[in-house]
Structure 1
Amino acid sequence: MDYDYVIVGGGSAGCALAARLADGAPDRTVALVEAGPPDDSFLVRLPLGLAALVPFRSRRNYGYRTTPQPGLGGRRGYQPRGRGLGGSSSINAMIYTRGHPGDYNDWAQAGCAGWSWDDVLPYFRRNEHNERGADAWHGTGGPLNVADLRTVNPFSRHYVDAAREAGFPVSDDFNGAQQEGAGIYQVTQKDGQRWNAARAYLHGKTRANLHVVTDALVQRIVFDGKRATGVRLQRRGALETLRARAEVVLSAGAFNSPQLLMCSGIGPAQHLRAHGVEVRVDAPGVGENLQDHIDFIVNKYVAHRELVGYTPPGLWHLLAQSLTYLRERRGLLASNVAEAGGFLKSDPSLARPDLQMHFLVGICDNHNRRLHLRRGLSLHACVLRPKSRGRVTLASSDMRDAPLIDPAFLNAQEDVDTLLRGARVIRRILAAPSLAKFGGEELHTRGVDSDEALTALIRARADTIYHPVGTCRMGSDAASVVDPSLRVRGVEGLRVVDASIMPTLIGGNTNAPSMMIGEKAADLMLGRAPATANAANVAPHEGAHAASPVLVARAQPQV
């Protein structure tokens, strides 16, 4: 089959790019190829379904593991990534944050012209339908529904009060004038259901020029000389070729986009030859520069009926909440689990927050893979701008094999120091009256007080909070993988459009920035003038808020 554009990866950036290209160029055809299934699972739509989707490898979760991490005492970390339409927006905690404006200004100063805060804000606003309404920071009429939680657990509000009592500021909009502070997150939900990238961009509107192909694993990029002309994929046990008259775009994420480049001959020459891959472009930067948010959790048993547990009273509470959700789309099952959190400074002298907090109304231990019967709560702190740099390399030349993922967690002493201060911040908040009054006992951290003991515990228990970026770094220097127009260096007709292009990790969740990248990439590919602040909040998206979205597999023609 021939198309004008072939996009590999139906995740957050890929869905945004596919829809905007199809709408912006109705005379051109677009193929969106996704390795996983359609997003038609009840667990995907159910907000609390993430508690079942994240912990284990499945049809909808790649469930990768890292290489042994020296900074984590030799442990192998866990790396859940969404597999299926919507990508990780189908299994994440639905937190809508964009990062700090200074993060994007850092990109521009590093040579990424057109990617400053003033450049990207219009795309965030164009992408958004914020139920609070439009203002200088937010948009309405966009495809992504952003909402306040329909039900906020009382303990989430206790956390905000405790943070204030501990001396930290409070923010009611982390994407507005003041990012710093503790507060309640806005979420990508509509009417108590998850609003992932596929529902935002693909459902509810039939486009004759957009074909969505699911359960199809792209094995390599096809070239004619130096020009990318299509992809070779495996579907239903057979190999097929989709040809691209204009461009091939990789939107497979921070792990799989560099893997596909390397399997297609673009990467470090010596490494490619070691795996029997013919070198097309010697690009040492492919797979390098991996950055991720490293996270530490303090769990605390607290016996209170509003907290999640699996004792008989706790199970009865879950049953009652299930009935509430079925009737009203409210209650615990409409929760994103991490309802509260915020952006705090571990040192008041810092220019920007260096910690992101996530407060959970239950015990989250080992990515929720270790079950605790007793009720409790969890408070996380993650390092927002880690100094450690890792890499993604090939395990083999076959895309069916998981890549080797080495985030180099806590290799930089600065990250250890920041996370240690983060652990102290957690304890300050938990000791404040609004939370301390409920009593309880810490689990793994009980009796661990000295810096040495706490550092050892951090190395024994810290892990990702699921925001890998940077492995196809954008830049203006020759060592970067893509230029500021996201074109892969050394070849023609090939771009990368996803979180892997971020030169540095932004200070926040990466889902909204990934969709922003897809939005901006569409304008770059269509040769449009950049979006402006004045026009950004008037971007009606037909069908985006239909009452009963149609499954994309039925709404879009299939090849």
Structure 2
Amino acid sequence: MAKGFWTFFGAFLVGILLIFNVSCYSERAPYYTFVKEATSAPAVTSYDYIVIGGGTAGCPLAATLSQNATVLVLERGGSPYGNPNITNIGNFVTSLLDTSPTSPSQPFTSKDGVFNHRARVLGGGSALNAGFFSFASADYVKEAGWNRRLVDESYEWVEKVVAFEPTVREWQSAVSDGLIEAGVLPDNGFTYEHLYGTKVGGTIFDKEGHRHTAADLLEYADPRRIVVYLGATVQKILFSYNPGRSRPEAYGVIYKDSNGGMHKAYLVKSSKSEIILSAGALGSPQLLMLSGIGPAHHLQAHGIEVVVDQPMVGQGMADNPMNVLFIPSPLPVEVSLVQVVGITRFGSYIEATSGLSFLHSWGHKPSEYYSELFLNQSDQPFTVPREATSMDSEAINFVTNTTIRGGVILEKIDGPLSSGHLELKNTDPDDNPSVTFNYFKEPEDLNKCVDGMNTIINVVNSEAFSKFRYRHIPTQALIDIIVNFPVNLRPRHVSAAISMEQFCVDTVMTIWHYHGGCQVGRVVDHEYKVLGVDALRVIDGSTFRGSPGTNPQATVMMLGRYMGSRILHDRFS
């Protein structure tokens, strides 16, 4: 049953998470001579900085630090280059369905019953995501206490390598016009800025459909001062208790290569040398706990020696809930990624994609229910058949290899206010920790979802969008499609009288924007230094209290560059 759910979910995400371009990535990817397999690493090495995680923040951070210091990057995954499941966008679903130990996408299911994925590849989530590139709001930057000038310079540094303006065609234009008609104003045109209203954002896919990831930012690195080891899984951070110091000091790490060989990396003996965790919202709090920093009672229960009793490690875990509608179209639609976003004043973001081909992994028997819904072109009203309310994953399928004319419009909650926690399941760093996000625990989040879904319905019913929807299919039928799909493992309420509140709760999904676990002011200070120890920072999305902007990847890359610049300035000031 679990395998069936994962098979369905991977295919469903192809429809939801917007990677539908069939172009192949050019094999012109940069060849970094300093990127090597960890199996080739010496038993012991020393560097000025050890960056744990070569992901969305880790790559720009390491590239920046290498300009004036020696840097070691330890990435547990492999390279995104030459992997057709990453570089060929048409193979997106293959990466999600690959559950092998070396897969670039590591699946997990939260305690809330929502399927999710965790990146395990150089470049992190930017090697797997839908590619939308948009800045954090001015208020977010101010609340974070970041220097505005350096933020702008850091965004520009990232943007030059990985960001592009998309070509907006008919279906996405109709969504944009529908948002404006629905009152999501003003029309801001193309911009990376986070502005209320409707806009076209950037993308990390170039005009030829090639994905550009955070790994591309390593082109800024000084190859003489940096080494990146792939397949390097850090087991723990090492701490010493030096005379004259009142608290523990990080001085090295132990990591394992893909053959099981163990290696040690130490910091160069200097007051400025540091270990920097950039392992993501799951990996960073997990590794802090495995290294002895976390709630004492929890660590002791797993037989871990306590270095610092820090009860806030793993707390504040949040995931921006996403809910969607499928909209079948009577006209052919372009294949598009997320290009348009409606930034509402009530705290919901509306995004869209089109040209879905999410059928391949759903099954081999055609479903009369869905075939009738999407292919029926009569003027008779369509209603969901009673038997559809008990469908399982085996019954949910279309004609294999058929492309559905239509698209998806989704809404994502800003923030969110609701949060949960992360705990260790065991002491194996290769395993996923246990995480609870508590979707819609706070009523305000649920209200935002309802308002967002109602906005989507207004867009679908707008005159601007009218040529891309069947008038004989009522909105309730579109809602029922999602209600009857096993999009997660949560209980279902399939009565005809289901409220929009219940729809949000039952059909919530992830948009992969989870964060928290090492939050600023709770686990790290405003310089991202871990409280209670020396020579250790955390720089990634685990430090966020809310997800920045509509989509966080631009800001996570920016943060890597921003803090790399700050650290070097302090080192040589």
Q: Same fold (TM over 0.5)?
A: yes
- Work out which of the residue numbers 479, 493, 503 in structure 2 matches 1:445: 479
1:145 aligns with 2:162: yes
Q: Hey, what's the Cα distance between the residues in 1 that align with 2:317 and 2:183?
A: 34
1:454 aligns with 2:500: yes
User: What is the aligned partner in structure 1 of residue 235 from structure 2?
Assistant: 219
User: What is the aligned partner in structure 1 of residue 77 from structure 2?
Assistant: 36
- Work out which of the residue numbers 505, 510, 516 in structure 2 matches 1:470: 516
2:252 corresponds to which letter in structure 1?
Answer: G
Distance verdict in 2 for CA 1:202–1:525, change over 3 Å: same
Report how far residue 435 of structure 1 moved: 1.6
Corresponding pairs, count: 461
Distance verdict in 2 for CA 1:218–1:194, change over 3 Å: same
1:233 aligns with 2:233: no
- Secondary structure, in 3 states, of the residue corresponding to 1:519? helix
1:275 corresponds to which letter in structure 2?
Answer: H
User: What is the aligned partner in structure 1 of residue 106 from structure 2?
Assistant: 63
User: What is the aligned partner in structure 2 of residue 288 from structure 1?
Assistant: 315
Judge conservation of contact 1:184–1:341 (CA < 8 Å) in 2.
yes
Q: Hey, what's the Cα distance between the residues in 2 that align with 1:167 and 1:450?
A: 29
User: What is the aligned partner in structure 1 of residue 152 from structure 2?
Assistant: 121
Report how far residue 300 of structure 1 moved: 1.8
Distance verdict in 2 for CA 1:57–1:409, change over 3 Å: farther
- Work out which of the residue numbers 388, 393, 396 in structure 1 matches 2:423: 393
- Work out which of the residue numbers 283, 305, 319 in structure 2 matches 1:256: 283
Q: Cα deviation per residue 1:432-481 (whole Å; 9 max; x = unaligned)?
A: 01222333346550499999522222211111111111211112xxxx11
Report how far residue 153 of structure 1 moved: 3.5
User: What is the aligned partner in structure 2 of residue 407 from structure 1?
Assistant: 437
User: What is the aligned partner in structure 2 of residue 357 from structure 1?
Assistant: 350
1:509 aligns with 2:555: no
Which moved further from structure 2: 88-97 or 46-55?
46-55
Q: Hey, what's the Cα distance between the residues in 2 that align with 1:44 and 1:255?
A: 22
Q: Cα deviation per residue 1:318-354 (whole Å; 9 max; x = unaligned)?
A: xxxxxxxxxxxxxx4xx5x2232231234xxxxxxx1
Q: Hey, what's the Cα distance between the residues in 2 that align with 1:522 and 1:300?
A: 44
User: What is the aligned partner in structure 2 of residue 327 from structure 1?
Assistant: none
User: What is the aligned partner in structure 2 of residue 89 from structure 1?
Assistant: 126
- Listed as ranges, the matches of 1:18-37 within 5 Å are 18-23=62-67, 25=68, 28-37=69-78
Instruction: Tell me the TM-score normalized by structure 2.
Output: 0.75
Judge conservation of contact 1:254–1:498 (CA < 8 Å) in 2.
yes
Judge conservation of contact 1:298–1:380 (CA < 8 Å) in 2.
yes
Report how far residue 116 of structure 1 moved: 5.6
Report how far residue 501 of structure 1 moved: 1.2
Q: Hey, what's the Cα distance between the residues in 2 that align with 1:106 and 1:364?
A: 41
Q: Cα deviation per residue 1:41-86 (whole Å; 9 max; x = unaligned)?
A: 13323345444434654534443333332xxxxxx11222221110
Distance verdict in 2 for CA 1:17–1:371, change over 3 Å: farther
- Work out which of the residue numbers 188, 208, 223 in structure 2 matches 1:207: 223
2:520 corresponds to which letter in structure 1?
Answer: M
Instruction: Tell me the TM-score normalized by structure 1.
Output: 0.77
Q: Hey, what's the Cα distance between the residues in 2 that align with 1:426 and 1:364?
A: 22
- Work out which of the residue numbers 375, 378, 381 in structure 1 matches 2:408: 378
- Secondary structure, in 3 states, of the residue corresponding to 1:420? helix
Judge conservation of contact 2:63–2:222 (CA < 8 Å) in 1.
no
Kindly name which structure, 1 or 2, has the bigger radius of gyration based on alpha carbons: 2
Distance verdict in 2 for CA 1:505–1:204, change over 3 Å: closer
User: What is the aligned partner in structure 1 of residue 299 from structure 2?
Assistant: 272
Distance verdict in 2 for CA 1:154–1:434, change over 3 Å: same
Q: Cα deviation per residue 1:155-207 (whole Å; 9 max; x = unaligned)?
A: 0111111112222222224433x6122233211234421110111x2248661
User: What is the aligned partner in structure 2 of residue 422 from structure 1?
Assistant: 452
Judge conservation of contact 1:13–1:498 (CA < 8 Å) in 2.
yes
Q: Hey, what's the Cα distance between the residues in 1 that align with 2:358 and 2:296?
A: 41
Judge conservation of contact 1:173–1:179 (CA < 8 Å) in 2.
no
Distance verdict in 2 for CA 1:383–1:55, change over 3 Å: farther
Distance verdict in 2 for CA 1:450–1:388, change over 3 Å: farther
User: What is the aligned partner in structure 1 of residue 541 from structure 2?
Assistant: 499
User: What is the aligned partner in structure 2 of residue 73 from structure 1?
Assistant: none
1:488 aligns with 2:481: no
- Secondary structure, in 3 states, of the residue corresponding to 2:350? strand
1:481 corresponds to which letter in structure 2?
Answer: V
Q: Hey, what's the Cα distance between the residues in 1 that align with 2:568 and 2:226?
A: 16
User: What is the aligned partner in structure 1 of residue 51 from structure 2?
Assistant: 7
- Listed as ranges, the matches of 1:304-323 within 5 Å are 304-306=331-333
Q: Hey, what's the Cα distance between the residues in 1 that align with 2:357 and 2:466?
A: 19
Report how far residue 527 of structure 1 moved: 2.8
- Work out which of the residue numbers 172, 175, 184 in structure 1 matches 2:192: 175
Which moved further from structure 2: 115-124 or 184-193?
115-124
- Secondary structure, in 3 states, of the residue corresponding to 1:125? helix
User: What is the aligned partner in structure 2 of residue 316 from structure 1?
Assistant: none
Judge conservation of contact 1:355–1:422 (CA < 8 Å) in 2.
yes
- Secondary structure, in 3 states, of the residue corresponding to 1:168? coil
Q: Hey, what's the Cα distance between the residues in 2 that align with 1:237 and 1:364?
A: 40
Distance verdict in 2 for CA 1:6–1:274, change over 3 Å: same
Judge conservation of contact 1:249–1:496 (CA < 8 Å) in 2.
yes
Report how far residue 371 of structure 1 moved: 6.0
Q: Hey, what's the Cα distance between the residues in 1 that align with 2:224 and 2:321?
A: 43
User: What is the aligned partner in structure 2 of residue 339 from structure 1?
Assistant: 339
Q: Cα deviation per residue 1:388-420 (whole Å; 9 max; x = unaligned)?
A: 011111111221221011111111111111101
Q: Cα deviation per residue 1:84-114 (whole Å; 9 max; x = unaligned)?
A: 1100010111111112111222233xxxxxx
Q: Hey, what's the Cα distance between the residues in 2 that align with 1:2 and 1:391?
A: 35
Report how far residue 365 of structure 1 moved: 7.9
User: What is the aligned partner in structure 1 of residue 38 from structure 2?
Assistant: none
Structure 1 residue runs without a partner (length 5+):
70-75, 109-114, 130-143, 308-331, 347-353, 531-559
Distance verdict in 2 for CA 1:427–1:191, change over 3 Å: closer
Judge conservation of contact 1:365–1:371 (CA < 8 Å) in 2.
no
Q: Hey, what's the Cα distance between the residues in 2 that align with 1:391 and 1:451?
A: 34
Judge conservation of contact 1:471–1:501 (CA < 8 Å) in 2.
yes
1:301 aligns with 2:328: yes
Structure 2 residue runs without a partner (length 5+):
1-44, 242-247, 363-395, 484-494
Across the aligned residues of Structure 1 and Structure 2, the Cα RMSD in angstroms comes to 2.7
Judge conservation of contact 1:156–1:184 (CA < 8 Å) in 2.
no
Report how far residue 121 of structure 1 moved: 2.9
Judge conservation of contact 1:55–1:80 (CA < 8 Å) in 2.
no
Distance verdict in 2 for CA 1:88–1:306, change over 3 Å: same
Judge conservation of contact 1:107–1:503 (CA < 8 Å) in 2.
no
Q: Hey, what's the Cα distance between the residues in 1 that align with 2:192 and 2:547?
A: 17
Judge conservation of contact 1:107–1:504 (CA < 8 Å) in 2.
no
Judge conservation of contact 1:95–1:185 (CA < 8 Å) in 2.
yes
- Secondary structure, in 3 states, of the residue corresponding to 2:351? strand
